[in-house]
Amino acid sequence: MPEGGMQGVRKQQKEATRQRVVSAARELFEGVGYEETTIRMIAERAGVSVGSVFTTFESKVDIFNHILFQKFELLFGELQRIAPHLKGSCCDRIVSLMSIAYGVECRQLDLMISHLAASHGWPDRIEAENARRHERLVGLFRDCLDHGVRAGELRADADLDLFLETLMAVYLRNYRKAYYERLGAEAMSELIEKQVKLIFEGLRA
Amino acid sequence: MQQSPVRPPYEPIGAVAAEAPPASQRLLSKLRTRQKVMTAARALFSQHGYEAATIRDIARSAGMSTGAVFANFQDKADLFEAVMAEDFDRVADVMRAAVEATEGQPVADRLSIMFAAAYRDGFTDVPLVQAAVAQSWVHARSAEVRGRNRSKITTGLIGDLLRQASAAGELRADFDVKLISEMLWDAFIGNYRKGAFDGWTAEQQMTRLSDQITVLLAGVRLR
């Protein structure tokens, strides 16, 4: 008997169910799409009852949110690990970070596309969590810009928030090209480089 | 084309022919049915989103059978695309009108006026735009191709303004017009999220877009 007696067993079982539900859901969200996936399908694939799916997660969107949280942690960890080693101008640094992000997300492109599609119609509480993750990601790019301002590369009076918001809109919309035009991470990197260079012109000191 | 109904042999053909509406009238009533379905569909897609709106609900709301809906549209995706294509045509029209009405003005002003018209009189239903953007990430490749052909019209209009500004010596002569046009369009559409989640009005969306226009044009301005 594991530590904690019967309660420990129950806890372990609950965690095992949770993991089975999450991985089944993830496969379905990637393969069939978020909207088309039902709780019943997830339960069937995970080999658990519909009832036990609902005891581990409130609803389908909460399972999805959990998967997006994992996806984010993976991406953010990778970018954070690389950020201190970046060289070159702040424009180069941002292009490098975004290229790495494209590399990571393009390996699980179907999930990224489901994420982007769902993000236009999910409840406010999920949007709030998504916004917090987005802010942390933007924070990494922001660090590059601050570095550029300190190094005298960028105008000190530039509206960096506005710049970042515009840049992020472009960064995200590029996934359409990854998906519909089957651009690989390499081509995505070239595209974002062109776009970043173009909007950086207006920031230059 | 719908086939004419098969007449039972025992009916006097002449009498039926006299009562049957002429072709143009039949076409007209078919168009009217189509329009009725689209009006009902537009309201339900906007209220419930694409996935939650069902053909059955749309038919009921239009006061007809699901069969009558399917006589006009292949499936829900086809119906949704028809609704959005109508909106897209309207957006292209208001943008085109703005291009013509602002000739000779500075390019940033022209873009602002153009997008303000598109927010105000073009895509006016924020939930519907959100549904369309969501759908555009996951729709069939064939629908994507048609969607792109539609947005080529709007990004083309933006491109016209940029090229004219270039010719007038306001912008550089050698920049990637298509790239900036698409980025401007992305920013325009992206602001609908703020409308949906933060309750921004069309004016607030426009104020933000004006700032974004400044950012996006800064690099190609002649100083």
Confidence (pLDDT) at B33: 92
Place B223 in a pLDDT band, splitting at 50, 70 and 90.
low
Confidence (pLDDT) at B57: 96
Confidence (pLDDT) at A1: 52
Confidence (pLDDT) at A27: 94
Place A198 in a pLDDT band, splitting at 50, 70 and 90.
confident
B26-30: average pLDDT: 87
Question: Is the CATH number of domain A59-200 1.10.357.10?
Answer: yes
Confidence (pLDDT) at A205: 67
Check if the beta carbon of residue A29 is closer than 8 Å to that of residue A111.
yes
HEC string of A83-102 equals HHHCCCCHHHHHHHHHHHHH
Look at B215 and A202 and tell me if their CB atoms are within 8 Å.
yes
pLDDT beyond 70 at B2: no
At B200-220, the pLDDT tens digits run 999 999 999 999 999 899 888
- Please tell me whether the overall predicted TM-score, pTM, comes out greater than 0.90 for this model: no
CB atoms within 10 A of CB B194: 16
Domain ranges in chain A? 1-57, 59-200
Spell out which residues of chain A touch residue B141, defining contact as CB-CB under 8 Å: 180
Task: Tell me which residue in B133, B187, B214 faces A120 most closely, judged by beta carbons.
Answer: B133
B55 — contact with chain A (CB < 8 Å)? no
A135 — contact with chain B (CB < 8 Å)? no
At B100-139, the pLDDT tens digits run 999 999 999 999 999 999 999 999 999 999 999 999 998 8
Confidence (pLDDT) at A4: 64
The correct CATH number of A1-57 out of 1.10.10.10, 1.10.10.60, 3.40.50.300, 2.40.340.10 is 1.10.10.60
At B148-179, the pLDDT tens digits run 999 999 999 999 999 999 999 999 988 899 99
CA–CA dist B118, B98 (Å, integer):
9
> Cα dist. A177→A33, A168, A199 in Å?
18, 15, 20
